[in-house]
Amino acid sequence: MTVSLRVAGLHYAYPDGTPALRGVDLTIAQGERVALLGPNGAGKTTLVLHLNGILHGGTGTVSVAGAAVDPRDRTGIAEIRRRVGIVFQDPDDQLFMPSVAEDVAFGPANLGLRGAELDARVDEALAAVGMGAHRDQVPQHLSFGQRRRVAVATVLAMRPEILVLDEPSSNLDPASRRELADIVRSLPVTVLMVTHDLPYALELCSRALILDSGRIEADGPTRDVLADTDLLAAHRLELPFGFDPVAIPRSA
């Protein structure tokens, strides 16, 4: 097994002393798609922000493809942040340039890409999310679902090894939700998806983790995790009314 991400003994407390992570251990193999579940305040975002060094200062280790995440190593952390791409819940947090193409080009340009090579990187990323026809549009004039796809493209343009999606299905209409699912399934990268959308987790991720009070409380096949009603109830997770994960065909 080739390991994409390894977290070992990760502890972190907020500046006021409140514990956020309490000894998180996690290994994700290359190419896995893993759902990170848990109630609000469980520590999910705190964990995600450790994966590329945005947050640090606790104890324990995080490594990406064998390379330690160490914010003190400026060259190394720049490479880690290329390898670990985070798509935040609000696409407007990532879109700030006058056009879609300029937003997608921003990251690779900061890596030093120019000219035809940069144009090819932008074309590649926009094609991956089906937004090539919108390259010259103002991002704020797009629909919410389109903006989310462009936000994914801004990360894909960096050619990451790990794609972290924070609540990717939130505020999407059914068609946009399906389109994004098709995009995620097509990507040849490791995926960590933070979500409260349990059916979406089952649709896209073969493995699920439950994080609660800063600890990994469950780790297993998504279908098995979601079928354990007592486990879900203990961690304030609820399936939609009438949704039975066991009844969903495995091919889905």
Taken as a whole, the chain contains a residue count of 252
In this prediction, residue 248 carries a pLDDT of 82
Tell whether the torsion through CA atoms of 16, 20, 23 and 27 is positive or negative: negative
Give the DSSP H or E segment for 106.
Answer: helix 100-110
pLDDT at 1 over 90: no
Structure tokens at 22: 């309490």
pLDDT at 231 over 60: yes
Q: Give me the mean pLDDT over the 197-225 stretch.
A: 97
Between strands 19-29 and 3-13, the pairing is antiparallel
pLDDT one-digit tens code per residue, 172-183: 999 999 999 999
Query: Backbone phi, then psi, for 178, in 5-degree steps?
Result: -65, -40
pLDDT of residue 75: 86
Q: How do strand 3-13 and strand 59-64 relate by DSSP bridges? A: antiparallel
Q: Can you tell me the mean pLDDT for 222-242?
A: 96
Please give the helix or strand (H or E) that residue 165 lies within, else none: strand 162-166
Q: Quick one: pLDDT at residue 247?
A: 84
DSSP 115: H
Q: Read off the amino acid at residue 164.
A: V
SS3 215: strand
DSSP secondary structure letter of residue 238: -
Q: For position 136, what pLDDT does the model report?
A: 97
Q: Which percentage of the chain shows pLDDT scores above 90?
A: 93
Q: Which of 184, 222, 164 is nearest to 46 (CA)?
A: 164
Task: At 131, list the tokens.
Answer: 């937004």
pLDDT of residue 252: 44
In tens, the pLDDT along 71-119 reads: 888 889 999 999 999 999 999 999 999 999 999 999 999 999 999 999 9
- 3-95+162-247 CATH pick, 3.30.70.100, 3.30.750.24, 3.40.50.300, 3.40.190.10: 3.40.50.300
Considering the chain, what is the average pLDDT of its residues? Answer: 95
Distance, in Å, from the CA atom of 114 to the CA atom of 111, rounded to the nearest integer, reads 9
Q: For residue 127, what pLDDT band results from cuts at 50, 70 and 90?
A: very high
Q: What is the pLDDT of residue 13?
A: 96
Domains of the chain by residue range: 3-95+162-247
Q: Strand, coil or helix: what is 10?
A: strand
pTM: 0.94
Maximum Cα–Cα distance for the chain, whole Å? 56
Contact 166, 48 (CB under 8 A): yes
Higher pLDDT, 32 or 57: 32
C-alpha to C-alpha distances, 49 to 45, 91, 145, nearest whole angstrom: 6, 17, 24
Q: What angle do CA 73, 75, 78 make, to 5 degrees?
A: 100
